[in-house]
Amino acid sequence: MKPFLPRATLIGAMALLPFSASFPSPAGAATITATVPTDAETAAHAAVLDLAGAFTNDGFKLRDGDYAGTLKPGQAVVILVNLYAGNEYWFSVAAADPKTPVSICLYDETGKLLKTNPYSDPHRAAAGFSPDASGPYYVRIAAPGAAATYCLIYSYK
């Protein structure tokens, strides 16, 4: 792992599906299984949509899908995203518990921490960013000092 990823779990660019189903497949083929979000994930999703709604008022479009999960105390999760030069992005994250703080930051492909336009309140955080170059970037989410169920969404224009 790169130096900026200590105690972090890397998640690829995939979205959670909002239903539960298992699709049969021919022998030897992959099986796709989706799960129902927990109550905590649903609460985190509602909180992050409330925050991201402010960015849609400024012309940003929400990306389809979200990233949700649970962080242990002191743990971080890192999500790989592909960004395009010339676009503006807002990455928004919220914790299910309004008393649990979360943080968010962005890194380039070399692991350099990027300067972003930050926003935070007690259980939500956002980072605005406009890349100069297209390519892979990393979004790091952490809940310092407490376990947290989180949800991340991002918007662009």
Average pLDDT over residues 53-80: 89
pLDDT-derived band of residue 146, with 50, 70 and 90 as boundaries? confident
d(CA 55, CA 49): 10
Q: Which amino acid is at 25?
A: S
Token output for 29: 């083929």
* pLDDT in the model for residue 19: 37
pLDDT tens for residues 3-41?
444 444 444 443 333 333 444 555 556 655 566 778 888
pLDDT tens for residues 71-99?
998 889 999 999 999 999 999 999 999 99
* pLDDT in the model for residue 74: 84
Q: Kindly report the pTM of this predicted structure.
A: 0.77
